[in-house]
Chain A
Amino acid sequence: DAKTTQPTSMDCAEGRAANLPCNHSTISGNEYVYWYRQIHSQGPQYIIHGLKNNETNEMASLIITEDRKSSTLILPHATLRDTAVYYCIVRVANTNAGKSTFGDGTTLTVKP
Chain B
Amino acid sequence: GAVVSQHPSWVICKSGTSVKIECRSLDFQATTMFWYRQFPKQSLMLMATSNEGSKATYEQGVEKDKFLINHASLTLSTLTVTSAHPEDSSFYICSAPGGGNGYTFGSGTRLTVV
Contact = CB atoms under 8 A, between A and B. Distances in A.
A36 B105 CA distance: 10
A98 B104 CA distance: 13
Contacts of A87: 43
A104 interface: yes
B31 interface: yes
Overall SS of chain B's interface: strand
Counting chain B residues whose Cβ lies within 8 A of the other chain, the interface size class is 20 to 34
A30 interface: no
Given A43-B6, A87-B43, A103-B43, A95 B97 contact: yes
B114 interface: no
Interface of A: 34, 36, 38, 41-46, 49, 87, 93, 95-96, 98-105
